[in-house]
């Protein structure tokens, strides 16, 4: 199967443009068995995926440890594994983002992932104030010099946080939500990222599964699935759940998008290909809970480019239905 590659900013890495988001194989998405989790990751890697996104808090380390075990079993060339730090802080406040705290989190991730040096550590959607504290970024440079990580980047909630973060010269990547329901990064941030050769990691590409078109007004979610417990932002930023679009509005938009799905593709693949139309994007990281999902998602890399009228239709649906709910929030 063909999978396309893109240059990962200034790192020198080339990565497949479809990666693997490893949140759901950790926790917060209902029950995902160890077997399903491992099969999902293996299927992605078999399909040529070579970029994995995880975090120390996904299943409190379960996601990182599954990745460690699967990669150890497979042997061979290692994919790039990006993890995140910061969300173990309790309370999760800017003052907690000290070099000492972050170093302790990084040490735990090194252990969980079974490596001396992490490939990429991302600050995990820290409070906005953190981006205005240069001493933290100096501290991260010291940890790079110590050999605990190769590179660092940020995962942000808002476009303006991304713009601030890339003022720091050693930030190599920004992870941000960008999908048919969240189009603002393309207006403000992507040109700046390209100008500075920043790698852009796109998360929540399927709007938490909504953009697969499999949901309806009767769909239910397990009590430990954030699509149940964070529907209104009760546990973390509401933008991480269905991209912050009210459920009924999202269903209406998905119906309106159906006619745009290319023949032979699923809506999920169409949604991923839509993201890849943007040159500033380096890698899209759909989550997957089983092998079939991971495989289908990787196949989106090889879809033909979308026609201009299709892009226009997606813009129109965004402007009319979605933008009023999200555009000025993130
Ligand atoms: N703050 C942060 O930094 C942050 C926040 C969120 C996510 N992320 C990262 O971004 C990654 C992706 O985002 P996400 O997982 O939140 O959302 P997503 O990729 O938009 O949606 C993933 C979910 O959609 C469903 N799905 C995936 N592929 C499918 C397919 N082909 N057919 C049908 N259903 C499919 C699965 O759930 P069901 O089968 O249960 O529907 C899956 O768990 C995460 O795994 C994580 O690595 C980071």
Q: Cis peptide leading into 91, omega within 30 of 0?
A: yes
Kindly give the number of the ligand 1 atom that is closest to the alpha carbon of 296: 31
CA–CA separation, 109 and 61 (whole Å): 8
Q: Which of 211, 153, 216, 227 is nearest to 179 (CA)?
A: 211
Of the residues 19, 20, 21, 157, which should be mutated to test ligand 1's pocket, given the most ligand atoms within 8 Å of the CB? 21
C-alpha 91 – ligand 1 centre gap (Å):
26
Q: What's CA 69's distance to the chain center, in Å?
A: 22
Per-residue pLDDT of the chain (330 residues; tens, 9 = 90+): 799 999 999 999 999 999 999 999 999 999 999 999 999 999 999 999 999 999 999 999 999 999 999 999 999 999 999 999 999 999 999 999 999 999 999 999 999 999 999 999 999 999 999 999 999 999 999 999 999 999 999 999 999 999 999 999 999 999 999 999 999 999 999 999 999 999 999 999 999 999 999 999 999 999 999 999 999 999 999 999 999 999 999 999 999 999 999 999 999 999 999 999 999 999 999 999 999 999 999 999 999 999 999 999 999 999 999 999 999 999
pLDDT score of 74: 98
Q: Give the chain's length.
A: 330
Tokens of 280: 């500033």
C-alpha 75 – ligand 1 centre gap (Å):
26
Tokens of 178: 């960008």
Contact between 174 and 193 (Cβ < 8 Å): yes
pLDDT score of 285: 98
C-alpha 235 – ligand 1 centre gap (Å):
17
DSSP 8-state code for residue 233: S
> CB-based burial of residue 293 (10 Å sphere; 0-12 exposed, 13-18 middle, 19+ buried)?
buried
| C-alpha separations of 254 from 72, 74, 153, 311 in Å | 40, 38, 32, 14
Of the residues 127, 181, 216, 286, which should be mutated to test ligand 1's pocket, given the most ligand atoms within 8 Å of the CB? 286
C-alpha 230 – ligand 1 centre gap (Å):
14
C-alpha 15 – ligand 1 centre gap (Å):
19
Contact between 68 and 260 (Cβ < 8 Å): no
C-alpha 288 – ligand 1 centre gap (Å):
6
Kindly give the number of the ligand 1 atom that is closest to the alpha carbon of 53: 47
- Helix 34-46 to helix 291-299 angle (10° resolution) is 20
Report the SS3 class of residue 6.
strand
C-alpha 213 – ligand 1 centre gap (Å):
14
Contact between 275 and 243 (Cβ < 8 Å): no
pLDDT score of 311: 98
Torsion sign over Cα 240, 243, 249, 252: negative
Provide the whole-model pTM.
Answer: 0.98
Q: Which residues line ligand 1 (CB under 6 A)?
A: 21-24, 29, 53, 84, 124-125, 155, 175, 203-209, 212, 214, 240, 268, 285-289, 293, 296-297
Contact between 53 and 24 (Cβ < 8 Å): no
pLDDT score of 1: 73
């Amino acid at each position: 199967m063909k999978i396309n590659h893109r240059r990962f900013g200034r790192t020198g890495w080339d990565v497949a443009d479809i990666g693997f988001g490893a949140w759901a194989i950790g926790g917060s998405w209902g029950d995902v068995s160890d077997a399903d989790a491992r099969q999902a990751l293996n299927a992605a890697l078999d399909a040529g995926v070579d970029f994995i996104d995880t975090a120390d808090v996904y299943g409190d380390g379960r996601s990182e440890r599954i990745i460690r075990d699967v990669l150890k079993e497979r042997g061979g060339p290692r994919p790039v594994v990006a993890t995140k730090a910061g969300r173990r802080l309790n309370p999760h406040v800017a003052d907690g983002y000290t070099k000492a705290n972050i170093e302790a989190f990084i040490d735990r991730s090194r252990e969980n992932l079974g490596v001396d040096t992490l490939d990429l550590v991302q600050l995990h959607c820290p409070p906005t104030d953190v981006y205005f504290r240069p001493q933290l970024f100096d501290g991260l440079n010291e940890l790079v010099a110590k050999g605990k990580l190769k590179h660092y980047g940020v995962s942000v909630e808002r476009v303006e946080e991304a713009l601030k973060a890339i003022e720091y010269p050693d930030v190599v990547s920004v992870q941000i939500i960008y999908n048919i329901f969240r189009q603002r990064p393309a207006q403000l941030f992507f040109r700046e990222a390209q100008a500075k050769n920043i790698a852009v990691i796109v998360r929540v590409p399927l709007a938490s599964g909504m953009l697969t078109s499999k949901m309806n007004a009767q769909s239910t979610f397990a009590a430990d699935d954030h699509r149940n417990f964070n529907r209104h932002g009760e546990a973390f930023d509401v933008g991480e759940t269905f991209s912050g679009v009210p459920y009924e509005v999202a269903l209406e938009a998905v119906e309106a998008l159906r006619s745009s799905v290319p023949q032979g593709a699923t809506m999920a693949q169409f949604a991923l290909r839509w993201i890849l139309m943007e040159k500033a994007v380096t890698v899209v990281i759909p989550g997957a809970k089983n092998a079939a999902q991971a495989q289908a998602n990787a196949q989106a890399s090889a879809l033909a480019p979308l026609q201009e009228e299709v892009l226009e239709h997606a813009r129109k649906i965004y402007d009319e239905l979605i933008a009023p709910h999200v555009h000025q929030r993130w």
